[in-house]
Chain A
Amino acid sequence: MSEPKDYWLDHSENVTKLFKGLWAVGLALLSIDLFLHRHEEFGFATWFGFYGIFGFFACVVLVLVAKKLRVVLMRPEDYYER
């Protein structure tokens, strides 16, 4: 293993590039909603950007709630051995 190898991901500007790329992909997908009519069982699912907005906020809520849960649930690693 040659240690001082240079990895593309080690540079933070490259990670930023990925981040921006992801936004570009997301917005492109969202724009398809403008002209493709999705077939859905539920009326609300046909709203513009329903899945994108739902996915984004679902994850934010998930993380924020889970973070709060730590206050109640988190214990030291040896909790059951004591």
Chain B
Amino acid sequence: MNADFPVALILILGAALVPLLRGGLRTVYMALLPLASFVWLLALPQGEFAQLQLFGQSLVLMRVDRLSLIFGYIFLIASLLNVIYAQHVEDTVQHVASLVYAGSAIGAVFAGDLMTLFVYWELTAISSVLLIWARRRESAFRAGMRYLLVQLLSGMFLLVGGLLHWYATGSLEFGQIGLSGAGGVLILIAFGIKCAFPFLHNWLQDAYPEATPTGAVVLSAFTTKLGIYALARAYPGTEMLIWVGTVMAAFPIFFAVIENDLRRVLAYSMNNQIGFMVVGIGIGSELAINGAVAHAFADILFKALLFMSMGAVLLRAGTVKGSELGGLYKSMPWTTGFCLVGAASISAFPLFSGFVTKSMIMSAAAGEGLQLTWLVLLFASAGVFHHAGIKIPYFAFFSHDSGIRCEEAPRNMLLAMAITAALCIGIGVFPRTLYSLLPYAVAYEPYTASHVLAQLQLLIFSALAFSVLMRTGIYPPELRSINIDSDWFYRKAGPLAARSIATAWKHLLAGGSEVLSAQAAEFGDSFARHRQPDGLLVRSWPTRSMAMWVMVMLLAYLLVYYLGK
């Protein structure tokens, strides 16, 4: 075998053949792609391969080390599960998009330089939006457009940040970057958008619930976790991230409690779980980084499982709104069971995956004496059980009987859920296997009497709080509604402001045409001035400022496009 072959191409190029195949053959072929890639990864030696020379820089398409390998493994596992889960889907676009999306995420993980990272970064954005548009309805199209704009914006920050970083350091290497230069700050913003940092987060809650039932499962695995990988690679030990992560873990749970769309509830809980990982990366100790990576691994599985169960509900019952559902355990007992496994895993019940991964981050925070962060994370742990562990299964499958009687999920969906559930329990029961794959050696022991007892007390009393609030009628009912979030600024306030400025402008024009012609003459003069030798428009500009201006122009374009709609 040749270590210089970029493993991402197996999925990306392999996807090209999918439209030619049908039925069982297509499924087998699609399942073979991630399997073959996985075997390829297992056989790879560590080191840097597939190096190209470009602009006097060496680009590294394959950097194989423990950090990139573990993300490669989990992305391929997720990709295989997605193939099984979406086997019944006829729509070829979704199959191709899923494979290219997974492939580009893997390409980004193995990228050893910022340019290669950028190319794959953009490819994940472009391929993944198809999973939203594949819903083929107006609201999904618009949400997809917003999603794409935000993702491309992230790419732009990465590009400009990367160029500035290159200019400052003379190297494009994608290693520890830090916040010392302007490039580092812009790259952090790029990663922050993918990780859905507070105020950069809303694309996630906006777009994922609009995706197809199977598409949301695919989306949940890659984009944000790629952000986490990039953050762990470039900004470990950046103290600011501790605070960003702490806020991230806490604020989404308030939104999750009052959200009616259960897939949107899951999107909020993604934010909350990513918050834990960001804290881990911010702390930066070996235990903390291990915890962040392990939790990303576990999160991809349990979040996929929860999205799978909600996807099955959406497919069979036609809705995932808490206000319309209830009593589905009678029609979909298997889906209910798998959802409960996902719920127990995200809530970190002993013997389920979250218990052995999240606690590493908690323990690292306590070890560093970060009392406030630890308390907020503990609050967030109770909160996640409340909204993802209880609310999701309760309102979908139990609660008052909505009268909906439907079929159980298709067999391929059940199979995918069964495998994912088995993995969630497997990690919880045998954590050493996962621990052995982590970037650093693990001395941490999750199953101590103190830890098990503390976690059970926390969870059982959280459940009691839910039951008491439910039985006393204090718990807020699920209502047909939406909640405004930071997207309000660009979806409501921005367009409103643009419209009123346009109206004011029209009034001004109606009354002031003479003033305007004088201004036009003035503009002509200054234009001529700037075109003289050494004038503003003729002078040669350094690349750095050009890159900045290109970004400003693109940003302005995005804004105008947005407000113009």
Contact = CB atoms under 8 A, between A and B. Distances in A.
Interface residues of B, number: 56
A22 B455 CA distance: 15
A53 B401 contact: no
B390 to A, nearest CB: 9
B369 to A, nearest CB: 8
B483 interface: yes
A73 B484 contact: yes
A41 interface: yes
A77 B491 CA distance: 14
B454 to A, nearest CB: 5
B457 A79 contact: no
A36 B457 CA distance: 13
B383 interface: yes
Interface in A3-57: 3, 5, 7, 9-10, 19, 22-23, 25-26, 29-30, 32-33, 36, 38-42, 45, 49-57
Contact of B460 (A40, A52, A58, A80): A52
B1 interface: no
B482 interface: yes
Interface stretch (B66-74, B473-481, B521-529): B473-481
A19 to B, nearest CB: 5
B264 to A, nearest CB: 12
B456 interface: yes
Contacts of A30: 457
B472 to A, nearest CB: 11
Contact of A66 (B254, B382, B463): B254
Most B CB within 10 A of own CB, among A29, A30, A58, A64:
A58
Contacts of A39: 448, 450
B175 interface: no
B457 A75 contact: no
B74 to A, nearest CB: 30
A45 to B, nearest CB: 8
Contacts of B255: 66, 69, 73
25 contacts: A10-B401, A26-B457, A26-B464, A29-B456, A29-B457, A38-B453, A40-B366, A49-B457, A51-B461, A52-B457, A52-B460, A54-B461, A55-B462, A56-B464, A59-B469, A62-B253, A62-B383, A63-B475, A65-B254, A66-B476, A67-B474, A69-B483, A70-B476, A75-B484, A76-B482
Given A22-B467, A62-B379, 18 more contacts: A26-B461, A29-B453, A39-B448, A40-B454, A51-B461, A52-B460, A55-B458, A58-B462, A59-B386, A59-B469, A60-B465, A60-B468, A62-B253, A63-B474, A66-B254, A70-B258, A74-B258, A75-B483
Interface of B: 139, 253-255, 257-258, 329-331, 363, 366-367, 369, 371, 374, 378-379, 382-383, 386, 398, 401, 405, 448-450, 453-469, 471, 474-476, 479-485, 491-492
